[in-house]
Structure 1
């Protein structure tokens, strides 16, 4: 199934999967959340080809996840990439993947970086909870019902 086919699915998981399902896109978003903003910095930190990087950035720009912001360097106007509100809303998605990866796929001999709350120093993790009672939920706690129009 092509990107266009997934992107047009009437599914709130299929459409995001079409956008985020390519590994370079997720790694690019990781770098953006870590503070990388400039093309050359993405390329050197990720060891990604210019053509693949250009393609992934263009998709994120077209989808409204990123915006280009001008800055001055060497007397020339260049652009850096910043998250839009839509892009910033992807943070919990990446945190959920990271939390799962830390639990199930992190090699024991490798230490990863840690994330801490700026104000209190507590560890950061993804959490799914009920909007009414704030109980933390698993898939077994959720009932799926069709949407009413």
Structure 2
């Protein structure tokens, strides 16, 4: 999914849409494997986290790839989709995922989303930012 030339607008659009669809697929995996009502059941929530753990690294790598602005910045649709995945990961993993997602590229993508003229992109980026701030403010869970 690497862009070879910025002169070929069809290729630029293709790579952007391909990335957007990959992120959408990851979002589907994340939401599909999280059982209903798991928010109120710590055991179900832990099972969901364990089931999803093998997908977290590729998801975070895709997020990082989509945050790159060179040679071409991501489209508004891609920004919204990535912000949604970021928010979903933070909701599920809380402050455990923050060290991976709290970086300049992700912050820049969320800022761009919050400044977007597209209401969907703006609202999803605002939500993801709020979830990240909540997770960063939460005490770090310890195991005993």
Q: Which has the higher helix share?
A: 2
Structure exhibiting the larger radius of gyration computed from Cα positions:
1
Higher relative contact order (CA 8 A, sep 6+): 2
Q: Which has the higher strand share?
A: 1
TM-score (ref. length: structure 1): 0.30
